[in-house]
Chains A and B, each alone.
Chain A
Amino acid sequence: MSNLLKVPTMAEMMASGETPDVLFWVGCAGSFDDRAKKITKAIVKILQNCKVKFAVLGAEESCTGDPAKRAGNEFLFQMQAMMNIQVLDGYEIKKIVTGCPHCFNTLKNEYPELGGHYEVQHHTQLLQELINSGKLRLEGGAEFKGKKITFHDPCYLGRANDVYEAPRSLIEKLDAELVEMKRCKTTGLCCGAGGAQMFKEAEKGNKEINVERTEEALETSAEIIATGCPFCNTMMTDGVKLAGKEAEIKVLDIAELIASASDL
């Protein structure tokens, strides 16, 4: 725990003979992207505040292989998967929480067939559990009281894994007014980053997908666009900037909303 935030790594835990209850899988965006790092820190603060015994892999974590797989490079995906499974099994990991729906989907759905069996949660699911069990209390909730918040469903959380309610129930816990976009839940529109699009220019068209989605979010006249995915966050933030609406509408991860409401 040589770092400022006192985030324990698996290696440190093991050295001191301890086992965490849950491994926090930070993900590449959460580790390196400046915006996504704030989401990572919000998740860490909540976990620490709720006294959840967790650890991260730190330098032993590596890409799950999701973007490689979706871009057609099955070799690279399986190489990544099998190396990650070796690390995870080496630490006898049972339960994982991810900060990213893409990591969540891959670890949960695509690793078991390759030998990696874990109980995997997206951070919104864990947060919902913490609130339901009374471990997490939203004392400073007044901050979002009555504010209009719209939730953008990340494809890999929603359609891909049928998780629609966990993030929404968290928004309701903030006493905020949840306003839905025209296309939401099962019919939610992608932000444009999935399927490895995040890492390439879009094909020729007449509009960027994130612009289309941001316009829809702006139509709700919400003050906050909540997401649960670092890539959606980037795409929606860019969309808001392009529309020149940064002053009126913020793009925040559910974890950031919860951390902020708990005065963390």
Chain B
Amino acid sequence: MISPIIFIILSILGFGLFTKNALKIRQNILLGRDLDRTDNKAERWKIMTLVALGQKKMFARPIPAMLHMALYLAFVITQIELIEIIVDGVSNSHRIFRPSLGGFYTFMVSFIEILSVLAFIATIAFLSRRNLLKLPRLNMKELAGWPKKDANMILIMELTLVTFIFMMNGADEVLYSKGWSHATNLGDGSLGLSVSSWFGPMLFGGMSEHSLHLIERIGWWGHLMMVFSFLNYLPYSKHLHILLAFPNTWYSNLNKKGRLTNLESVTTEVRLMMDPNADPYAAQDENAVPVSFGAKDVTDLTWKNLLDAYSCTECGRCTSSCPANITGKLLSPRKIMMDTRDRLVEVGEGIRKNGKDFKDGKSLLIDYISEEEIWACTSCNACVEACPVNIDPLSIIIDLRRNLVMEDSKMPTELAGMFTNIENNGAPWQFAQADRLNWADEQ
């Protein structure tokens, strides 16, 4: 038989290409600055279990959460069936686990079928709210073009996948009941699958043995092809969150949300300034690498910011809770994440082609994210709170501000005034520090 050979070649190609692209993504993420996020492992496992596996934060909006849960469970549990498909494919068998697993087999496949139906319904619902109901969150201007196509493409692929599953199982039910199936005949007259045992005869009941085998094979190979297409589509898609949600939540920020990082490079400088014994003319450490403050481009961000960007599935919960965006400002936390990913892909490709010192004269700040966007942020953490996979757009915004202010001295004039006031009077307004207790004398 030729089919095991085709199967094995397809699998090697499918997994191989995916591995190649996954390694590129890893390489891109590691272009970011160092950051230690390996402390407190017990807490990290807990967060990953609750937020990624349990989808805790999705349930802030119960209806989409339930639909998403159905899709997610169907996706995860269908992978069990994939094990059989792989074993069958390599050994040229058919439903190899059925005789040995018996009732448990019927239960598992039936369970997968029920979840698949739910997933089908959820997918239709997702397609409708995106394209018919035009939910504002899913139709904002940053989604025009590729992101919108990407979203619809994933949903259509999911529908196709489920269709193939039911072609495969439905036709096989009819074949089995007539004693024509390649599955080991246990003399029970039906595969006993929850959906296909009535759906199969209803749709394919009157067909010839040849047609049934054809439909069953189209379903089987189609399912497999969709799995490989999907896997290899992921690295280019926002849908990568199905994999990266797990590491991204594991590496979550465990500190209070209000705590911003203290730039270490600045601490060194400030300590020197405040040290009466410091020698201002001392020779610089020869090995010292010049650092720039804050972030101008993606390589100035931490690897976690970059992992965040790849983990974003553009759901827009951040943007729909952002006070600046709600009131019509240009800022959209989702766009910050999308821009970061787009720019990272560009820089990563550039570095792979032209070597480590690749420059294209562009940067994340200015070319992708404008000053107007980042100055509209109130640092309220609503976006961070809203993200179902613990992405932190605020830390990128702050790092971009730091670069603007400390490297380029570019900021709204009122803020320059505020800085001067703090420097001179120890308050953001023009009041003398000596007057700080005057209130105690006022009636």
Interface residues of A (CB under 8 A from B): 3-5, 7, 9, 26, 28, 30-32, 37, 40-41, 44, 56-59, 61-63, 65, 67-76, 78-80, 82-83, 105, 108-110, 113-114, 155-156, 159-162, 186-190, 192-209, 211-213
Q: Given A159-B380, A205-B329, A209-B378, are A69 and B426 neighbors across the interface (CB < 8 Å)?
A: no
Interface residues of B (CB under 8 A from A): 60, 255-260, 262-263, 266-267, 269-271, 273-274, 293-294, 321, 323-324, 326-331, 372, 375-382, 384-386, 398, 400-406, 411-412, 414-415, 417-419, 422-423, 426-429, 431, 433-443
Task: Name the distance in Å between B364's Cβ and chain A's nearest Cβ.
Answer: 15
The answer on a CB contact under 8 Å between B418 and A161 is no
The answer on a CB contact under 8 Å between A161 and B270 is no
Contacts of B262 in A (CB 8 A): 74, 78, 110, 113-114
The answer on a CB contact under 8 Å between B428 and A192 is no
The answer on a CB contact under 8 Å between A31 and B427 is yes
Contacts of A78 in B (CB 8 A): 262-263, 266-267, 270
Q: Which 5 A-B pairs rank lowest in CB-CB distance, beginning with the nearest?
A: A160-B258, A195-B379, A72-B401, A62-B426, A206-B328
Q: Show 16 A/B contacts (Cβ-Cβ < 8 Å), sorted by A.
A: A31-B427, A31-B437, A32-B431, A58-B437, A72-B402, A73-B406, A74-B402, A113-B262, A186-B385, A193-B378, A200-B412, A203-B329, A205-B376, A209-B323, A209-B324, A212-B323
Contacts of B323 in A (CB 8 A): 189-190, 192, 209, 212-213
The answer on a CB contact under 8 Å between A71 and B378 is no
The answer on a CB contact under 8 Å between A63 and B426 is yes
Closest Cβ neighbor of B420 among chain A residues? A76
Task: Name the distance in Å between A125's Cβ and chain B's nearest Cβ.
Answer: 14
The answer on a CB contact under 8 Å between A161 and B378 is no
The answer on a CB contact under 8 Å between A61 and B436 is yes
The answer on a CB contact under 8 Å between A160 and B433 is no
The answer on a CB contact under 8 Å between B380 and A194 is yes
Task: Name the distance in Å between B161's Cβ and chain A's nearest Cβ.
Answer: 35
Task: Name the distance in Å between A40's Cβ and chain B's nearest Cβ.
Answer: 6
The answer on a CB contact under 8 Å between B378 and A80 is no
Task: State which of A59, A68, A159, A202 has its C-beta within 8 Å of the C-beta of B437.
Answer: A59
The answer on a CB contact under 8 Å between B378 and A192 is yes
Closest Cβ neighbor of B410 among chain A residues? A72
Contacts of A62 in B (CB 8 A): 426-427, 433
Closest Cβ neighbor of B415 among chain A residues? A71
Q: How far is the CA of A169 from the CA of B257 in the complex (A)?
A: 23
The answer on a CB contact under 8 Å between B428 and A75 is no
The answer on a CB contact under 8 Å between B439 and A195 is no
Contacts of A162 in B (CB 8 A): 256
Q: How far is the CA of A195 from the CA of B398 in the complex (A)?
A: 9
Closest Cβ neighbor of A44 among chain B residues? B440
The answer on a CB contact under 8 Å between A7 and B329 is no
Contacts of A76 in B (CB 8 A): 419, 422-423
The answer on a CB contact under 8 Å between B440 and A4 is yes
Contacts of B440 in A (CB 8 A): 3-5, 7, 44, 56
Task: Name the distance in Å between B60's Cβ and chain A's nearest Cβ.
Answer: 7
The answer on a CB contact under 8 Å between A160 and B442 is no
Contacts of A159 in B (CB 8 A): 257-258, 380-382, 384-385
The answer on a CB contact under 8 Å between A207 and B380 is no
Task: State which of B260, B386, B431 has its C-beta within 8 Å of the C-beta of A70.
Answer: B260
Task: State which of A75, A110, A113, A196 has its C-beta within 8 Å of the C-beta of B418.
Answer: A196
Q: Kindly list 5 other residue pairs between chains A and B, CB separation below 8 angstroms, not including A155-B381, A194-B379, A199-B418.
A: A67-B422, A114-B267, A155-B378, A159-B385, A188-B382
Q: Given A5-B440, A62-B427, A159-B257, are A201 and B379 neighbors across the interface (CB < 8 Å)?
A: no
Q: How far is the CA of A83 from the CA of B331 in the complex (A)?
A: 35
The answer on a CB contact under 8 Å between A199 and B415 is yes
Contacts of A188 in B (CB 8 A): 382
Task: Name the distance in Å between B388's Cβ and chain A's nearest Cβ.
Answer: 13
Task: State which of A63, A187, A196, A212 has its C-beta within 8 Å of the C-beta of B327.
Answer: A212
The answer on a CB contact under 8 Å between B436 and A203 is no
Q: How far is the CA of A73 from the CA of B271 in the complex (A)?
A: 16
Closest Cβ neighbor of A198 among chain B residues? B428
Contacts of B269 in A (CB 8 A): 75
